[in-house]
Amino acid sequence: MTIVESLAQETPVGGPSLPQERRLVTAIPGPKSQELSARKAQAVSAGVGVTLPVYIVAAGGGVLVDVDGNSLIDLGSGIAVTGIGNSAPEVVAAVAAQLAQFTHTCFTVAPYDSYIAVAETLNRLTPGDHPKRSALFNSGAEAVENAVKIARHYTGKQAVVAFDHAYHGRTTLTMGLTAKNQPYKNGFGPFAAEIYRAPMSYPYRDGGLDGVAAATRAISQIEKQIGADNLAALIIEPIQGEGGFIVPAPGFLPTLVAWCRANGVVFIADEVQTGFARTGDMFASEHEGIVPDIMVMAKGIAGGLPLSAVTGRAEIMDAPQVGGIGGTYGGNPLACAAALATMESYEKDDLARRARDIGVIMTGRLNALRAVDKRVGDVRGRGAMIAIELVDPVTGDPDAALTGRIVSAAHAQGVILLTCGTYGNVIRFLPPLSIPDALLVEGLQVLASALAAA
């Protein structure tokens, strides 16, 4: 048996004890992954896309190991989910213990204490020391839907404002809130009523409009076109995710919060992507000291198990009638066990600090690239949520083709990179906070070579 065959036959256990190395033993994707891609095409809906068709058998620390025995550097965390790393030992232990006790009762039929403990932890960790309540769901989109339902019930109003470049999910209500047509909305209408869009603060592309001026522009449009009397909620990502890692100018978010408070509008922060230490604070809202009325969380909350949450002011969260909020699986006991272990690790191991250190490494290297290569138009983000925007160096126009070439080259070299952005010209870096420095640096070197060659 060749080394390649024996590597391919191993079925390694995941978690941080996996060798932390980039190791390519076949072309990417390898033959076994290609076989699985052929099966996928015959069995899975074509609408379910795949960024990099390598099929994973184990993951942990900063690597994903595929079915052909390749070990790839993970700079995506399954889209900001595995912040504490794949198969983190504390999560594995907590879920295994829960698995042996019971797997499901439905919290709204016969409840259990871990759901309450997750709610208590979220009420404590989220910004603001006012009384709070939480409710648990399965996905980010489901939590966003419920945040809007609760805000409407509390205010007795219907309209909702979302922003340019926003991403809030792919269900009917959240597709309406999401800005980008392709691929998220095209052909899937009609969309929900009473959703309005306001201009975002996008410092790289709005001529340096300061945060207060950008907020004033948005507020003026909202007042003219909707009116606060009709507006239940304003929803915004404190740093936009799929829209391009857009960090609004300082003052933008606090000005919007103050206007909402003065006008009886519920301010909803969608921290599904930014939450849980990712940006160097437990939540991105903390950076400018804003206190959202409702916060929506998911992705990083439970070490990879499906869980989402809505946490907000007690009087808002307690407004709906009994039975109005819930679902069969929301706050599943396995997901709650994982969330408790995950959130304990974020706090105990000060992973927000780790995110800031990762941010220093990433921004240092990416800004060095920008200094010598004008195709890197912008480096932005915070903590372990950093992106580069790629442009035509002469016109400044978005260069999605270049972006695609760089990402394909990095994939072929065993580095998992994700793109984003309304114009498809942003490469985003969301490494697990468990990635060793050396692997992170190696991943960025692969990116730099791919950029140079593209």
Ligand X SMILES: *Cc1c(COP(=O)(O)O)cnc(C)c1O
The site for ligand X (CB under 6 A) is made up of: 139-141, 144, 167-169, 237, 241, 270, 272-273, 298
Q: Minimum CB separation from ligand X for residue 418, in Å?
A: 11
Smaller CB separation from ligand X, 206 or 237: 237
Smaller CB separation from ligand X, 165 or 205: 165
Q: Minimum CB separation from ligand X for residue 392, in Å?
A: 28
Q: Minimum CB separation from ligand X for residue 270, in Å?
A: 5
In angstroms, how far is the first alpha carbon of the chain from the final one?
A: 38
Q: Minimum CB separation from ligand X for residue 308, in Å?
A: 6
Smaller CB separation from ligand X, 118 or 446: 118
Q: Minimum CB separation from ligand X for residue 445, in Å?
A: 28
Smaller CB separation from ligand X, 168 or 180: 168
d(CA 122, CA 132): 9
Task: List 389's β-bridge partners, or say none.
Answer: 378, 426
Question: Are β-strands 266-270 and 231-236 bridged in parallel, bridged antiparallel, or unpaired?
Answer: parallel
Smaller CB separation from ligand X, 33 or 201: 201
Smaller CB separation from ligand X, 98 or 139: 139
d(CA 448, CA 437): 16
Q: Minimum CB separation from ligand X for residue 130, in Å?
A: 24
CA distances from 431 to 235, 435, 436 (A): 26, 7, 10
Q: Minimum CB separation from ligand X for residue 423, in Å?
A: 18
Residue nearest to ligand X (CB): 140
d(CA 58, CA 132): 38
Residues 6+ apart with CB under 8 A from 336: 98, 112, 114, 115, 117, 118, 136, 302, 307
Residues 6+ apart with CB under 8 A from 368: none
Please give the structure tokens belonging to residue 36: 């699985």
Residues 6+ apart with CB under 8 A from 256: 215, 218, 219, 234, 236, 267
d(CA 200, CA 133): 29
CA distances from 240 to 13, 144, 165, 224 (A): 35, 15, 7, 25
Smaller CB separation from ligand X, 343 or 448: 343
Smaller CB separation from ligand X, 87 or 273: 273
Say if residues 38 and 17 touch (Cβ distance below 8 Å).
no
Q: Minimum CB separation from ligand X for residue 299, in Å?
A: 6
